[in-house]
Amino acid sequence: MVVFRVVLALLAVLTCVTSAPRSAAPPQDISVLTPLGTAQGTLDADGANRFAVRYAGATRWQSSAVVTEWTLPNGASDPAALPLQCPQTSVDASTFAEDCLSMILYVPVDIAPGSNASTLVWIHGGSFDSGSATFPGLDGSNLAIATESIVAVIQYRLGALGLLPPDGSTNLAVQDAINALIFLGQVVPSFGGDSSKITLAGQSAGAGMIRSLLAAPSASSLFQSAILQSDPMDFGFTSLTTQALLQSTFNDLISCSPSDTACQMSLTLDDILSAQATLEDEALGLDPSVAIGEPLHPVLDHTLITTPLDSTAPFPKVSKPLLLTNVRNESAPTIYGVEFPGPGPFPAEDFELSSDALLGTARTEILMASPFYPVDPNGDSRVPLQVLGTDYIWRCPTWTFARNWVANGGTAHVGMFTVGATYPLNDGIDDCVAPGAVCHQDDIFIVFGTTPNPTPAQSALTTEMQARYKAFLASADPNEPGLDGWVPATTTDVHAKEFGVLTTVDGEVPVLACDPSFWGQAVQYDYQFFDL
């Protein structure tokens, strides 16, 4: 069985999640005067003022433009109404709309104009083809109150609508995110925010979007720092060659030429999403460099995104402070939930067969000869496969990125969650609900403070991480009195801190295969292997 070939569950299964229901808002409405008009909001059930707003508009497959007046999303008249999702597969069509460039602002009630508060902008994950500002756990009230900041949760165009315009232009979704930041820069002072104190944060593909913004010079002045959680950095950016192939195939599927705007506008959303689903199913067969589980993602177009921000080209000079985190069992949902479901154990030979199918013979031979992924002949091959997947897609490329970032002028703090809160899609995966497991997405509830019925360990970690984020938003340093020291990364030691249950004496994650002489050198990442 080929590991990761169907889909990275921890990335792509987000297409199966529906928007999270919210508690009914109290009847109390709030109004704030902004340069774009009067913002209408309501008191969120968790205690912050909540404002949903349409930040930009766009004609299908054209660049978006920032709005010039404050309007509620989707023509709503009720300030408590939440925005519809962007179009995506595997959800009810009644939950999405093409006019979806909206965000939700959460503002603590004690932040007033002149407060000069920080703003945290959350960018949701979902493999760039799913997700929304209303997905489970993303109510920003608790996070806003704990960090004494404005929290903005944004949406951006997904899948083919955001990344495959038939005329061959690129990165519309990234431009959407840039316009969200431009909009925020205009309005946050009205809510008590300081437009020069905007920090980006996101998980999975959301972190990948932030990496795209870090690689886009035109976005640099719009935010001061960033928090990247569980970014699948092994994927790199899509190359122009691969993008052209995907684009051509998609155009054939919709039967519209690049210049036939009338044909493109006549397509129904079902037509577009159906063609997108077919392309995503076939993408890896078209080009082996396509990111497994994330076939559509931002493109290194050398216009908007001008650098790969990886080890395939000279790293640019940088200055922004970053927080970079992973969870302990990033790949467990794929290994135990998709590729090898069931009670197991699975035979030892599955490790080499799966690795060979994923990485090729040459890279697999190096892995098999190394001490990092020992296979117990009488054990379960899923155990080393989960470690391999976590190292290969997430942990080790993140550590390589941290070293490069620090070497070129920036600062980075690296960490790993060893306590989490099971995200809904992981509920049915035995290994993800086992004691001590922290699977992909299990950091979301912790950071937002939205864990249902939290344990003392979960509550303690939420308190710690929100305190660290508060300090980072204010001073670019996640350390403050009363917290254990979080040592910044250097070019030789990333000092990856454990967050939760400590498994080592010094509270730092062992380097193991993330030694720079192994992953990234002896064994190439995909972005190196395919020269993306």
Radius of gyration of the chain (CA): 22
- Number of structural domains found in the chain: 1
Q: Look up the domain containing 201 and give its range.
A: 29-234
- Report the interhelical angle of 172-187 vs 205-214 (nearest 10°): 80
Tell how strand 193-203 and strand 225-229 pair up. Answer: parallel
177: in domain: yes
Report d(CA 284, CA 8) in Å as an integer: 13
> Could you tell me whether strands 37-43 and 48-54 are parallel, antiparallel, or unpaired per DSSP bridges?
antiparallel
- Judge contact between 57 and 64, C-beta under 8 A: yes
Among 431, 445, 321, 436, residue whose Cα is nearest residue 386: 431
Residue 110 maps to a domain: yes
Residue 201 counted as domain residue:
yes
* pTM of this structure: 0.95
Cβ of 364: how many Cβ atoms within 10 Å? 19
The answer as to whether 3 is a domain residue is: no
Q: Which two tokens stand for residue 304?
A: 């908007």
Identify whether 190 is part of a domain.
yes
In a domain, 4, yes or no: no
The CATH number of the domain where 78 resides is what? 3.40.50.1820
Cα separation, 422 vs 435, in Å, equals 11
pLDDT in single tens digits along all 532 residues of the chain? 344 333 343 344 333 444 444 444 444 679 999 999 999 999 988 889 999 999 999 999 999 999 999 999 999 999 999 999 999 998 999 999 999 999 999 999 999 889 999 999 999 999 999 999 999 999 999 999 999 999 999 999 999 999 999 999 999 999 999 999 999 999 999 999 999 999 999 999 999 999 999 999 999 999 999 999 999 999 999 999 999 999 999 999 999 999 999 999 999 999 999 999 999 999 999 999 999 889 999 999 999 999 999 999 999 999 999 999 999 999 999 999 988 998 889 999 999 999 999 999 999 999 999 999 999 999 999 999 999 999 999 999 999 999 999 999 999 999 999 999 999 999 999 999 999 999 999 999 999 999 999 999 999 999 999 999 999 999 999 999 999 999 999 999 999 999 998 888 889 999 999 999 999 999 999 999 999 8
CA dist., res. 274 & res. 195, Å (int): 40
Judged on CB neighbours under 10 Å (0-12, 13-18, 19+), 531 is exposed
- Is residue 436, in this structure, part of any structural domain at all? no
Nearest in space to 130 (alpha carbons), one of 90, 180, 81, 171 = 90
User: Does a structural domain hold residue 390?
Assistant: no
